[in-house]
Amino acid sequence: MALARRIIPCLDVKNGETVKGVNFVGLRSAGNPVELGKAYSQAGADELVFLDITASFEGRKTFTEMVTRVAEAINIPFTVGGGINELADVERLLYAGADKVSVNSAALRRPELIEEIATQFGSQVCVCAIDARHDEDGWHCYLKGGRERTERGLFEWAREAQERGAGEILFTSMDHDGVKTGYANEALAQLADNLNIPVIASGGAGKKEHFRDAFLLGKADAALAASVFHFGEIAIPELKKYLHDEGIDVRL
């Protein structure tokens, strides 16, 4: 029996407040992370993702105190990412209240980090986040919050992350981020076909149909979104009822 598809709000946090941009730039404030997290937990979100979006770029540690405050306010699984470079970072965030950690830039630079996390804490703790853009020569992975291109291809890196022990792939299409025209469903479906771990879709949600398409066309296991939730464009209970009516298995 297939697992229910998950709806995951994402808190992109910078300097202690939630922000949202388009194509990774032009950030505007979206509110207090603790209050938003609590509201999403109460609204029926399946999980919450908290990303300290400038931690890798600025080379500092994720704001641990904020993680603790969010964790205390919610009762759903909680994934935290940003500036995780070593096992001590993972341990600190799990101790602060995270259930999973999301690794991105550090794992691309040192893929062994995925194995270390999976060995020490279990694969279920390790989410490999991939920010990728469809360039002229195909899908490429980017570092440092989308600032720096690598020569790693999306699909081969996702497969390697799985082989090294990642429990999930969180794939953000940089081309689709914040533009609200739908997820990168072709790439999502290719990931789903190539992997046997869950794939979380990220980047592009603008209306309820986009979530449906991510599940049906993109074969995603979960769909992550930010601005449509933060700015009240889509309510999670309404979204879940819509998906249920479309024949998609969700937790109501």
Which pLDDT score is estimated for 30? 74
Average pLDDT over residues 3-18: 89
Half-sphere exposure of 95 (CA within 13 A, CB side): 9
Which residues are known catalytic residues? Answer: 12, 131
128 neighbors 166 (Cβ within 8 angstroms): yes
152 neighbors 108 (Cβ within 8 angstroms): yes
Which pLDDT score is estimated for 3? 85
Average pLDDT over residues 63-68: 86
Which pLDDT score is estimated for 181? 94
Q: With pLDDT > 70 as the criterion, what percentage of the chain qualifies?
A: 92
Which pLDDT score is estimated for 56? 56
Residue 31, pLDDT above cutoff 90:
no
Interval 171-228: pLDDT, tens: 999 988 878 999 999 999 999 999 999 999 999 999 999 999 999 999 999 999 998 9
Which pLDDT score is estimated for 221? 98
Rounded Cα–Cα distance for residues 105 and 56 (Å)? 7
Which pLDDT score is estimated for 230? 87
Contacts of 243 by beta carbon, 8 Å cutoff, 6+ apart? 5, 7, 208, 211, 212, 215, 250
Interval 141-164: pLDDT, tens: 999 778 899 999 999 999 999 999
Rounded Cα–Cα distance for residues 214 and 142 (Å)? 22
131 neighbors 89 (Cβ within 8 angstroms): no
Residue 59, pLDDT above cutoff 60:
no
The mean predicted confidence, pLDDT, of the chain is 91
- pTM over 0.85, yes/no: yes
3-state secondary structure the chain: CCCCEEEEEEEEEECCEEEEEECCEEEEEEECHHHHHHHHHHHCCCCEEEEECCHHHHCCCCCHHHHHHHHHHCCCCEEEECCCCCHHHHHHHHHHCCCEEEECHHHHHCCHHHHHHHHHHCHHHEEEEEEEEEECCEEEEEECCCCEEEEEEHHHHHHHHHHHCCCEEEEEECCCCCCCCCCCHHHHHHHHHHCCCCEEEECCCCCHHHHHHHHHCCCCCEEEECHHHHCCCCCHHHHHHHHHHCCCCECC
Which pLDDT score is estimated for 44? 97
Q: Comparing C-alpha atoms, which of 52, 84, 83, 47 is closest to residue 66? A: 52
